[in-house]
Amino acid sequence: MISVASVICNTFASATPIALGGIGGMFGERSGIVNIGLEGTMLFSAFTSVVACYYSGSAWLGLLAGLLTGLLISFLHAFFCTTLKVDHTIIGLAVNILASSVTVYASSSIFGNKGFTPSVEKLPTISIPFLRDLPLVGAFFGSMSLITLMVIPIVILAHHLLYKTPFGIRVIAVGENPQAAFVAGINVQRTQYIAVMLGGLTCGLAGSFLSISYLSMFVRDMVSGRGFIAIAAILFGRYKPVGILLAALFFGFADAIQIALQGIITIPNEIIQCAPYALTILAVTVNEARSKKK
């Protein structure tokens, strides 16, 4: 039988990196910078988190390393896109290609193993009083990942930042019409840098989640398409923080159902595992078709 509790747990766990990556990509997209490199940024962060955690013994330093990595990669991304004006997709692809080879090489030269790293300390999980006693969802709230807990505040913060602050308005203005924004006295490049790097932070958080909260090690190519699903979540969520969260939950739910169905029904696992990817294409298609009609 399908366990409702485990579906709920898996939904939130799967949705966390997609939502965080999506929020990260959204800031860039809103300022006019397309970031295909979310996948690679997350992979880099996941790796550095484990390395920092391994050497310091502290998951907190691992988290910090993941955040800083996200910041650094997104700074480079912004530098290439805004200052050097390289094609955004090409530089995103470069980040992805670089990430998958550099992390594996570094893994083998630091730990002597290409496939995965040794197990490290995880970030602490949080047990929320009262909520943990609820039926069905109790197990989830009883040992909740710290980063999953941070998703909702981050979405609220992103929403506030984007719509209620001068900075957010500037980001939107720059993304909608850079020339007009420039004439209005906005520093277009600086706004884009800040927006992309802000996104890099949450992307880094998503990477850290995968390696030192969801798992406790780095596995080769462990992001496995989540960065691209995050891009789909951005499109599906119509570039709005709350929309992205809902889209991420939708994809997370699809993933949880997929995990729950494995071994239960007679359809082979390989086919069930395709579901989240197929759903992503379908969701983007429906979304684009809908926005075309308007």
Partner 1 sequence: MNLVHQLINRKSSNALTQVLIFLVSFLLALVVGGILLALQGHKDILSVYYYLLIQPLTTGNGIAKVLVQTTPLIFSGLAVAIAFKCDVFNIGVEGQLYAGALAAAYLGYALQGLPRLVHVSICILGAIVVGGLLALLAGWLKVRFGVHEVISTIMMNHMISNIVTLLVVDYFRNDGPTARTPTVQDSARMLSLSGSSQLNSGLIIAVLLCVVLYIVFEKTPFGWQLNAAGKNLRATTYCGVDAKRLILIAMLISGALAGLLGAERVLGGFGYMQVNFSPGYGYDGITIAVIAGNNPFGCLLMSLLMGLLCTGGTQLNVMTDIPSEWVDMLSAFIFVFVVAANAVMLKLPELKEKRLSRERRLAK
CB 163 to partner 1: min, Å: 26
- Under rule CB under 8 A, residue 42 binds partner 1: no
State the residue for tokens 């094609």.
87
| Amino acid (one-letter) located at 94 | A
- Under rule CB under 8 A, residue 85 binds partner 1: yes
Q: Of these, 4, 131, 242, 274, which contacts partner 1 (CB under 8 A)?
A: 274
- Contact segment (CB under 8 A) with partner 1 among 45-53, 82-90, 164-172, 187-195 equals 82-90
Strand partners, 145: 125
**Radius of gyration over every alpha carbon of the chain, rounded to an integer in angstroms:** 19
Q: Please provide residue 50's backbone torsions phi and psi, each rounded to the nearest 5 degrees.
A: -65, -40
| Amino acid (one-letter) located at 201 | L
- Under rule CB under 8 A, residue 277 binds partner 1: yes
How far apart (Å, rounded) are the C-alpha atoms in residues 209 and 213? 5
Count of residues in contact with partner 1, rule CB under 8 A = 42
Which residues touch 145 (CB under 8 Å, ≥6 apart)? 13, 16, 123, 125, 126, 209, 213, 214
CB 65 to partner 1: min, Å: 19
- Under rule CB under 8 A, residue 1 binds partner 1: no
Q: Is 108 exposed, middle or buried (0-12, 13-18, 19+ CB in 10 A)?
A: middle
- Contact segment (CB under 8 A) with partner 1 among 122-130, 138-146, 148-156, 283-291 equals 283-291
Angle formed at CA 22 by CA 20 and CA 26, multiple of 5 degrees: 120
- Under rule CB under 8 A, residue 239 binds partner 1: no
In the shown chain, the binding pattern of residues 107 to 146 toward partner 1, with x for contact by CB under 8 A and - for none, equals -xx----x--------------------------------
| Amino acid (one-letter) located at 158 | A
The 3-state DSSP class for residue 249 equals helix
Give the pair of three-digit tokens for residue 164: 């209620």
Measured from the CB atom, the residue of 19 and 231 that comes closer to partner 1 is 231
- Under rule CB under 8 A, residue 265 binds partner 1: no
Residues that bind partner 1 (CB under 8 A): 36, 80, 84-86, 89-91, 93-94, 97-98, 100-102, 104-105, 108-109, 114, 224-225, 228-229, 231-232, 235, 268, 270-271, 273-274, 277-278, 280-281, 284-285, 288-289, 291-292
